[in-house]
Amino acid sequence: MQNTFRTVWLDGLWHNNPALVQLLGLCPLLAISTTAVNGLGLGLATMATVTLSNLLVSTLRHWLIQEIRIPVFVILIAGTVTCIDLIMNAWWHELYLTLGIFIPLIITNCAILARAESFASRNNTGLSVVDGLATGAGFALVLTALGGIRELVGQGTLLADADLLFGPIAANWQLTLTENYGGLLVALLPPGAFIILGLMLAARNLIAAQQIKAADRDTSNAGARPLRQDTPLS
């Protein structure tokens, strides 16, 4: 069971990351990730959505009629996103206004429906929750990293407006690269988002290729057998 949970975590975070491997949900990924806080906020909302929807689908999978399962999945996801939307509006109102339409648009994220159909509807509740957490965490990490890089390059800061997500305690969390940094505007625009995401994809593919080579090398070394040495005649 531990190996299964580990496999699910690695699949969601790295091997089958929705943003860097499946390339799903790119619209909010590129549009709202102008700062690390924006990316983290939307990433956490997406993680909550995929986790709760996986939980609901896995719990109800034995009572779902095969022919109407996809519409039911969409209704469950829409209901979950509506609850998250209301919660963010009540407790994180300023961040809610910043993220705007991209919170309701979580419903259209193909990665969430894909996990409900391909995993949660076929596995038990525990594994489905772990899969939702791993998939959501993988998406949130990419969102936050992309937002952080764009924020650093575009305006020379990191964790700007952190209080929108973490409250007044985070009012002084902002890090400034340099006082006189003019910023690179293209990093905050859609072309910059595409360029930086492309570089992240290239880095991920390079690391994955190196891991495959290392695994093949280890397998070859493990499979190699020493030559038999005959005992010399006396």
For CA atoms 120, 122, 125, 129, the dihedral sign is negative
User: What distance in Å separates the CA atoms of residue 29 and residue 107, rounded to the nearest whole number?
Assistant: 14
Is the model's pTM score more than 0.75? yes
Query: Taking a C-beta distance cutoff of 8 angstroms, is the pair 108, 74 a contact?
Result: no
Q: Per-domain residue ranges for the chain?
A: 2-220
Q: Which of helix, strand or coil describes residue 234?
A: coil
Which residues, 6+ apart, have CB-to-CB distance to 225 below 8 Å? none
User: What distance in Å separates the CA atoms of residue 161 and residue 111, rounded to the nearest whole number?
Assistant: 28
Q: Which residues does residue 176 pair with via DSSP β-bridges, in sequence order?
A: 157
Query: How does residue 234 score in pLDDT terms, banded at 50, 70 and 90?
Result: very low
For CA atoms 90, 91, 97, 101, the dihedral sign is negative
pLDDT for 225 equals 52
pLDDT tens digits, one per residue of 188-217: 999 999 999 999 999 999 999 999 999 888
